[in-house]
A and B are shown apart, each in its own frame.
Chain A
């Protein structure tokens, strides 16, 4: 196989040169197995040399293949080379083969040896095999044991695993139990702590509750005490309250009684109110009439007043003229005495006319006052006026006659005539006025007549309406009567119909009875016929015997038939009568229908009329209600206005009273103030006067004092000279004597006392001053009394120059008055102000002016305040 392979390998060198090398290499590679190591090692070596040549051949083939266009010579050369190479190769191969054969022999020898060895080894192997078998058995046993042990191990593992699982579970559970234990422990500890805390809290709560209970007990006790006290107090109050309650009950009863009485009074008042209202209505109606009449009378009054005024003016003018006329007439009388009587008569007549006119005026005034009376009074007045007018006409005729007489007599007095004509004209004016009055009266009469006519018309209308109402009522009554008659007729017809129906029913019943009878008779007849037939059959034999009864029976039958016929006739007649009655019923029903229609129409007319009447009544009622409402409103308004008027009156009264009170108060205040001011003014005037007197006194005193001062100054100068002389003497004495005379000199030192006593003592002071002056002239001691004023006006200053006591006393011995003055200590003048020095006169004046201004300001302020108060009061 291998050789073949080699040959195969060697055969196609060219074609598969490349592949051969690869295959060889592969084969070499394949031969590299362990199983084929020994045999192939030899071949591998031999193939290696061949391979080189093959490789060379391959290369050459490749080169030949590649170098086709090379020359054949080269190829042949190559071929020779190759052949040589092949030969060489063959040689080599043969050598190798020989070598290999040798080797083979060696190897065979070796092999034999080895075979022997192998046999030995096989024997050993057998032995070993047995041993191995034994060992194998043992091993099997061991394996079994091992398997068993393995099985046990597996079981152990399983148990181990289970144990591990259980241990793990145990551990988990242990851990869980430990945790639970810890939790429980902690819970238990918490519980213990909680219980302890609860104990403590319980104790605390117990204590707190005890305290609270105590406190609440105390509070309850306090509350109970308070409640008991309150209960006691309230129990004490209970009787008082019961007494109050009883009193209040009594009061309530009284009030209830009063309420009842008041209610009764209210009822009575209501009744009275109703009466009063009725009276008010009547009075208002009368008031309205009266108002109308008032208005008319007012108009007439106005007109009459105008006429009156005109008449009065004219009367005044006539009076004036009459006066003039009288004067002229007197002059004329003086001039002509003869005419005086006539003129007096004329004047008398004029006066009478004036009196008549006055009476007329008075009458007219009375008429005006009585204008509120009825139209009858007006007519009477008119009649009176007409009579008066007639009288006036008569008077006028008389006047005219007189005028004519006067004209006849007084032709000389054209002036009188003119006056008379003027009077006549005036009388004519009077007449015209009277005519107008007549016309007015006639107009008023006409108006009254018209009013009466209107009233008569209204009354007539009312009567007509009443008559119409009555007529309508009568018609209604007639219609109602007709309706009733128709109803009665209907009833009668109905009754007739009912009667007829009853008759019909009776007849029907009779018919039915007759029919029944007929039926019965028929049946009877049938029966009889049958019987008779039977009898006929029976009595066919007896026919001969009883033909007579048969004939009788036939006659009876005939009679019965006749009766039936008669009855049928009667039935027919009755039916006819029924038909006639039915027709009558229909006619009567038609009549009744017509009557019903008429009744309905009448009812409708009645309803319409009633409606109209109701509407009219409603309208009247509404009018009445509206008028009532208006009346009520007017009443209310009137009442309101009355109340308002009353209130306003009251307010006015109150305001008037208040004003009067205030005015009185203000007047009193003003009077008081005036009195006060007057008093103050008087006081101040007195003070002013006093001040002026004082001022004058002061001035005079000042002058005197100035004179005194001048004198004193002179004296002082003289005294100073004397003092100087004395001082010189003293000094001389002192110089001569020791200083023991100093105090004497001090004592002998003269000082002057100037006192300022009050002003009231000035006079006395003056009196003393004179002697003092006199004494001063004699001596060197002087009492000068001054009353000077300082800047302050309330007290007086004192300029005091004290003199020696001895000298002063000597003076006082001579002048006891001065001693009195001296004894009297200088006092401060209680006077409020006393300006007496010349330098302060201006101050006095200014102060007075200031005070006056202040007083005026105060008075003005007071007056202003009072005026403001008055204004506020009156505002």
Chain B
């Protein structure tokens, strides 16, 4: 009786274990699916971020603008000074 009881308990437990395993496996499967989905999404997002050229474009634009500004500042101040000197020379 005790064995039966233990067996029964084991069986019960085994059943529970199996059921638990099943449920857990199912849950795990679901979770793994979810994880795979997330991973896929992550990869996609990585690719999207990496492939996003806005920053680079913007940086290039900014660099271009910066360079343009530099050039303009340098050139135009120099031009201004040269023009002022030329004017002074002309007037002199």
Chain A positions within 8 Å of B, measured between CB atoms, are 132, 136, 139, 142-143, 146, 149-150, 153, 156-157, 160, 163-164, 167, 170, 174, 177-178, 181, 184-185, 188-189, 191-192, 195-196, 198-199, 202-203, 206, 209-210, 213-214, 217, 221
B28 to A157, Cβ gap below 8 A? yes
B72 to A203, Cβ gap below 8 A? yes
A202 to B69, Cβ gap below 8 A? yes
Contact bitstring B42-83, A, C-beta under 8 A = 1, else 0 = 100100010010110011011001101100110011011001
B17 to A213, Cβ gap below 8 A? no
A153-B21, A199-B65 given as contacts; is B32 within 8 A of A132 (CB)? no
Residues of B within 8 A of A153 (CB): 21, 24-25, 28
A199 to B72, Cβ gap below 8 A? yes
A174 to B58, Cβ gap below 8 A? no
Residues of B within 8 A of A209 (CB): 80
Most B Cβ at <10 Å: residue of A136, A164, A198 = A198
The answer, among B18, B24, B80, for a CB contact under 8 Å with A206, is B80
Beyond the given pairs A203-B76, A206-B79, A213-B80, 7 more chain A to chain B contacts, judged by CB atoms under 8 angstroms and listed by A's residue number, are A142-B14, A160-B31, A181-B49, A185-B54, A188-B55, A191-B62, A199-B69
The answer, among A150, A167, A181, for a CB contact under 8 Å with B21, is A150
CB distance from B71 to the nearest CB of A (A): 9
CB distance from A228 to the nearest CB of B (A): 13
Residues of A within 8 A of B42 (CB): 167, 170, 174
**Sampled A-B contacts (9; CB under 8 Å):** A132-B7, A153-B21, A157-B28, A160-B35, A167-B39, A191-B65, A202-B76, A209-B80, A210-B83
Measured CA separation A744–B48 after assembly (Å): 143
A139 to B11, Cβ gap below 8 A? yes
Contact-residue bracket for chain B:
35 or more
Query: Is chain B's binding surface mostly helix, strand, loop or mixed?
Result: helix
B68 to A195, Cβ gap below 8 A? yes
A160 to B66, Cβ gap below 8 A? no
Residues of B within 8 A of A132 (CB): 7
A185-B54, A195-B69, A217-B84 given as contacts; is B45 within 8 A of A206 (CB)? no
A139-B14, A163-B35 given as contacts; is B28 within 8 A of A156 (CB)? yes
Residues of A within 8 A of B61 (CB): 188, 192
CB distance from B90 to the nearest CB of A (A): 10
Measured CA separation A185–B53 after assembly (Å): 11
Measured CA separation A191–B66 after assembly (Å): 8
Measured CA separation A157–B91 after assembly (Å): 88
A217 to B91, Cβ gap below 8 A? yes
Within 8 Å of chain A (Cβ to Cβ): is B5? Answer: no
The answer, among A181, A195, A203, for a CB contact under 8 Å with B65, is A195
Closest to B77 in A: A206
Residues of B within 8 A of A177 (CB): 49
Measured CA separation A146–B22 after assembly (Å): 9
Residues of B within 8 A of A188 (CB): 55, 58-59, 61-62
Residues of B within 8 A of A174 (CB): 42, 45, 49
Measured CA separation A192–B59 after assembly (Å): 9
Residues of A within 8 A of B79 (CB): 206
Query: Is chain A's binding surface mostly helix, strand, loop or mixed?
Result: helix
**A-B CB proximity, top 3 nearest:** A195-B65, A188-B58, A206-B76
Measured CA separation A167–B18 after assembly (Å): 30
Chain B positions within 8 Å of A, measured between CB atoms, are 7, 10-11, 14, 17-18, 21, 24-25, 28, 31-32, 35, 38-39, 42, 45, 49, 52, 54-55, 58-59, 61-62, 65-66, 68-69, 72-73, 76-77, 79-80, 83-84, 87-88, 91
Measured CA separation A192–B64 after assembly (Å): 9
Closest to B61 in A: A192
A192 to B58, Cβ gap below 8 A? yes
CB distance from B56 to the nearest CB of A (A): 10
Residues of B within 8 A of A164 (CB): 35
Measured CA separation A210–B80 after assembly (Å): 6
Closest to A136 in B: B7
Residues of A within 8 A of B52 (CB): 181
Residues of A within 8 A of B45 (CB): 174
A181 to B55, Cβ gap below 8 A? yes
Measured CA separation A46–B73 after assembly (Å): 121
Closest to B57 in A: A188
The answer, among B18, B38, B58, B88, for a CB contact under 8 Å with A146, is B18
B58 to A156, Cβ gap below 8 A? no
A217 to B58, Cβ gap below 8 A? no
Residues of A within 8 A of B24 (CB): 150, 153
A170-B42, A213-B84, A221-B91 given as contacts; is B62 within 8 A of A202 (CB)? no
B38 to A217, Cβ gap below 8 A? no
CB distance from A139 to the nearest CB of B (A): 5
Most B Cβ at <10 Å: residue of A191, A195, A196 = A195
CB distance from A129 to the nearest CB of B (A): 9
CB distance from A177 to the nearest CB of B (A): 7
Residues of B within 8 A of A170 (CB): 42
Residues of A within 8 A of B17 (CB): 143, 146, 150
The answer, among A143, A196, A202, A213, for a CB contact under 8 Å with B73, is A202
CB distance from A818 to the nearest CB of B (A): 101
CB distance from B84 to the nearest CB of A (A): 4
Measured CA separation A142–B87 after assembly (Å): 101
